[in-house]
Amino acid sequence: MNKKTVHDIDLKGKKALVRVDFNVPFDPQTKAISDDSRIVAALPTIKYLIDKKSKVIVCSHLGRPNGKVVEDMRLTPVARRLSELLKKPVQTTKDCIGPEAEAAVSGMKEGDVLMLENLRFHAEEEKNDPLFAKSLAKLADVYVNDAFGTAHRAHASTAGVAQYLPAVSGFLMEKEIDFLGKALAGAAHPFAAVIGGAKVSDKLALLDNIMGKVDYLLIGGGMCCTFLKANNIGVGKSQVEEDKLNLARGLVDKAAKANVQLILPNDVVVADKFATGASVKAVPVSQIPADWYVMDIGPQTVKNFTDKLKKCKTVVWNGTMGVFEYKEFRRGTEAIAKQMAELKAITITGGGSTAEAVMELGLEKKMSHVSTGGGAALEFLEGKTLPGVAALLDK
């Protein structure tokens, strides 16, 4: 990575403002954190700063309070969980800027950890307001961005504050950029991209950017219906982006010219209604009933896809193969995940729904990298410059 990290600056005794992505889910019944993986992912950076005797000032957003104080979106329970994981106290503040936050910081000792209140209680955060960014910067000597999940947003705490403090990456940010960057620039071949999800329009830039870099492009999920329709195959009641049919045909042509094997499903799992408890069957794509919905890739397609993956030394996967939230339509996604877990290859999963599926199946430790950034990972793979990365100091 060509950006400076916490390894590249003196941190002893310094006040370090650390942007993390602690936007964790809560159980609606118990109100307890239901998945602390984002907190766990930031621990190496926080522990390193503690060991270096920094004063660690952690900041994050939680939910979408839209610039107002929302009691249910306070970071107190997140700080409590961080304290449990660190096995040391984590102080909190009732605001992320202002006299109380400044007083709390001035009382810190080397190795202490303080969590500021939800950044998005201030509308200025998402507007990247310079005065708000200066108020955050006023609390610290250095800025550490370890929030890859928000790096695609030009917010005050991801880009603005870096104008006023020396800005470096944490270990999680470094890992994300290294893995995703190598997939784009230095991947071992054969290289496959497995692309799913609901809409072609969500993945057009990604497909376009990776087209000349991969050997195999395997397309599943709801978006395959637009490609099938572009090949004059009826897809029943499934959603098709009619205005993207020509683009889909163009991508097929581009793949052929780039010597990329673009592989579409040759069979699918269909249902008579878009719901659990529906009638379900697997059919060739040429026999999709006119009043049924495509819900997953079929068993023959699973075999075709996994046979290609077995040949690969690098695999990037973005987007589930079916409607994963229904148990009847998760076999395609499960098969791809299990096959990737067995490969002796670099395996990278990116995108929120894909990462959630891998973790739900308990296979995250068998992947080379599971990206913590949904939109950020997608934009990085599209070849876009992420504001939160661009703002960091170059090596």
| Contact indicator for 377, 318 with CB cutoff of 8 Å | yes
Q: Residue 211's CB: how many other CB atoms inside 10 A?
A: 17
- Tell which residue, 181, 199, 173, 208, has the closest CA to residue 314: 181
Choosing from 63, 352, 366, 384, the catalytic residue is 352
Can you tell me the distance from the alpha carbon of 139 to that of 17, in angstroms, rounded to the nearest whole number? 7
Choosing from 3, 15, 19, 38, the catalytic residue is 38
Can you tell me the distance from the alpha carbon of 172 to that of 59, in angstroms, rounded to the nearest whole number? 15
Q: Give the dihedral sign, CA 178/179/180/186.
A: positive
Q: Is 199 a catalytic residue?
A: yes
Query: What's the token pair of residue 391?
Result: 């703002």
Q: Is 352 a catalytic residue?
A: yes
Choosing from 199, 254, 313, 366, the catalytic residue is 199
Cα torsion 85, 87, 89, 95 to 10°: value is -10
Can you tell me the distance from the alpha carbon of 309 to that of 218, in angstroms, rounded to the nearest whole number? 9
CA distances from 174 to 6, 144, 147, 201 (A): 10, 11, 10, 29
| Contact indicator for 263, 279 with CB cutoff of 8 Å | no
Strands 293-297 and 267-271: antiparallel
Q: Is 31 a catalytic residue?
A: no
Angle among Cα 284, 287, 288 to the nearest 5 degrees reads 95
Can you tell me the distance from the alpha carbon of 327 to that of 390, in angstroms, rounded to the nearest whole number? 41
Using the 8-state DSSP alphabet, how is residue 162 labeled? G
Choosing from 94, 366, 375, 384, the catalytic residue is 375
| Contact indicator for 350, 381 with CB cutoff of 8 Å | yes
Q: Is 38 a catalytic residue?
A: yes
**Cβ-count burial 232-256 (b if 16+ within 10 Å, e if not):** ebebbbbebbeebbebbeebbeebe
- Tell which residue, 253, 231, 227, has the closest CA to residue 241: 227
Q: Residue 187 in 3-state DSSP?
A: coil
The residues carrying an active-site annotation are 38, 199, 352, 375
